[in-house]
């Protein structure tokens, strides 16, 4: 491979994005693992994920209510602007 000017791609090290070693206050567990509320709008969850795309990173934030996406927003940059989309 060296004679032909080729090199292999080696996997990158895992980058940890969460730092749990802190002395900041932790929110109370109000759900207590009861994920089956008796009505809508009782328990909401949220998550953000990012995907490496050809043109750069794409960030997707989702709010979930009772196993259904209640709202989402996707952007090519992380900003504090609010522009949520709600399903029908």
Q: How far is it, in rounded angstroms, from Cα 74 to Cα 88?
A: 17
Q: How far is it, in rounded angstroms, from Cα 32 to Cα 43?
A: 11
What is the chain's pLDDT, residue by residue, as a tens digit (88 residues)?
A: 888 888 888 888 888 878 888 898 988 988 888 878 888 888 888 888 888 888 888 888 888 887 677 777 787 776 656 655 555 5
Record the tokens describing residue 42, joined without a space. Answer: 């009782």
The pTM of this model reads 0.53
Residue owning tokens 């749990």: 20
Strand (E) or helix (H) holding 72? strand 68-75
Q: How far apart are the first and last CA of the chain?
A: 55
Q: Residue 25 in contact with residue 48, Cβ under 8 Å?
A: no
pLDDT computed for residue 84 by the predictor:
58
């Amino acid at each position: 491979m060296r004679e032909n000017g080729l090199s292999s791609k080696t996997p990158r090290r895992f980058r940890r994005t969460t730092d749990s070693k802190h002395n900041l206050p932790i929110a109370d567990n109000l759900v207590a693992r009861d994920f089956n509320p008796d009505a809508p709008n009782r328990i909401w969850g949220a998550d953000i994920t990012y995907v490496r795309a050809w043109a750069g990173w794409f960030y997707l934030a989702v709010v979930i209510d009772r196993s259904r996406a209640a709202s989402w927003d996707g952007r090519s940059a992380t900003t504090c602007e609010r522009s949520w989309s709600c399903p029908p």
